[in-house]
A = this chain, B = another copy of it.
Amino acid sequence: MSRPEVSPLLTDLYQLTMIQGYLEHGMTGPASFELFARKLPKGRNFLLACGLEQALQYLETLRFSPEELGWLDATGRFSTALLDWLEGLNFDGDVDAMPEGTVFFPDEPMLRVTASLPLAQLVETRLINILHFQTLIASKAARARLAAPGKLLVDFGLRRAHGAEAGLMAARAAWVAGFDGTSNVLAGMRFGMPIMGTMAHSWVLAHDSERESFLHFARTHPEQTVLLIDTWDTERGARIAAEAAAELAREGIRVRGVRLDSGDLGEHARKVRRILDAAGLQDATIFASGNLDERRIEALEASGAPIDGYGVGTRMVTSSDAAWLDCAYKLQEYAGTPRRKLSEGKATWPGRKQVWRHRKDGRMDFDILGLADETHAGEPLLKPVMRRGRRLAPPESLDAIRERTRRELDALPPACRALDGGAPVPVRVSGQLQELAREVDAALRG
């Protein structure tokens, strides 16, 4: 059975249809495609590049299996020339990209592929599929990180993520964006992320009393006891937890904290804090979860709620306020000639491009979007990462990527950090690029 995350058939039919045409008409010259967002979702001021490592893994391992080739052949849709080409395929193109954890803005390419036209076309669907999703989630998770500086943030999203890969890659993207851990065990194995968790309501419900459920859990996990106290009534749960903690203390077991998962989390946290403090449990932490996102976290933080950490799930891993980015992978140059589509609302800047970032007093000031062969001051954000199908460097460590994210978020100007309102960092289009766009249009109209 073809594995969805590595099968080259995880693509749109028209890629194969077009490649057959390119081969038939001798259109196999070098092409450059760029992946970029056309605009920001409503209420967002920046994007955080994420997923490059998985994109490169996809390109490195791109192969058609005999079973897949046999199935394509049996459809009767494809020419022998196409099937022969697919059989011998491996990715021998070039990739330039923004490193993961880089903040970027609309119209700025986060990745450029340069390869023969059919090859660069073939990889479109899955490259977007990989990079769109992780960038979407990292961009969302970064906002939660900004909303709760210094607080523990844990990804709880696996169950309502859109499938297996979404759950796994959302955990990675949240980690890239600055989360502290995940509930997702496979993400722990794959990415070396800290895995974290407490208990579910089913644990409490399976016992004959809340008290017994707390005692049992603590005795099984004396080092990591966080008690879920909202199964029936949060404050009653807090009092039962405090009583259980006193009994456990005599056994040498310390209750580390409690979790709230429903109701008005700020109000409950204040009441629970008082109950715990009155019982001498000043060290016990309060962890909150339940339909949280960065806006709710920001509101809880602003209210001074005594919450020490947050479990963030569904709303982050589905990016529920903006479940997709208006991004595209577009042909920018073929056979040495810049290209541009003008479809209404979807016009793109032609040519192979670069982004130069300018900073002022340590903060991002403005970007210049220009042609790759221009010279500008500022830091070029697209770096060469693959040449003739080979990586130019080993995979970046997630620690290094997280450190880049931290620096990037620190460098956001205040307007760009705002969760509501605010503005992105301005992107200035170079004179040469504007001129090229006019020339490309004039040539078309001529």
A binding-site residues for B, Cβ under 8 Å: 1-5, 7, 9-18, 20-22, 24-25, 27, 31, 33, 68, 71-72, 75, 117, 121, 124-126, 128-130, 132-133, 136, 156, 158-170, 183-186, 188-190, 195-207, 216-217, 219-221, 224, 230-234, 261-263, 314-315, 318-320, 323-325, 327, 330-331, 334, 339-346, 444
Contact = CB atoms under 8 A, between A and B. Distances in A.
A2 B190 contact: yes
Nearest to A342: B232
Contact of A341 (B183, B201, B330, B343): B201
A395 B4 CA distance: 20
A10 B159 CA distance: 9
Given A3-B3, A164-B165, A197 B159 contact: no
Contact of A206 (B22, B198, B204): B22
Shortest 5 CB-CB distances between A and B: which pairs?
Answer: A163-B165, A13-B197, A162-B162, A14-B197, A263-B344
A346 B197 contact: no
A305 to B, nearest CB: 16
A165 B4 contact: yes
A193 to B, nearest CB: 11
Nearest to A335: B206
Nearest to A343: B262
Nearest to A68: B189
Contact of A132 (B20, B159, B204, B205): B159
A200 B167 contact: no
Contact of A184 (B10, B198, B340): B10
Given A132-B159, A163-B165, A342-B233, A21 B220 contact: yes
Contact of A263 (B16, B169, B186, B345): B345
Given A4-B5, A9-B186, A10-B186, 19 more contacts: A4-B165, A10-B168, A11-B184, A13-B183, A13-B188, A13-B195, A27-B207, A71-B189, A129-B159, A132-B159, A136-B162, A162-B163, A162-B165, A162-B170, A204-B341, A262-B343, A262-B344, A319-B323, A320-B323
Contacts of A165: 4-5, 162-166
Given A18-B199, A344-B262, A186 B4 contact: yes
A163 B166 contact: yes
Contact of A163 (B22, B163, B202, B314): B163
Contacts of A190: 1-2
Given A18-B200, A195-B13, A200-B14, A232 B341 contact: yes
Contacts of A221: 17, 20-21
A5 B168 CA distance: 10
A196 B230 CA distance: 50
Contacts of A327: 160
B185 A12 contact: yes
Contacts of A161: 129, 133, 162
Contacts of A14: 183, 197-200
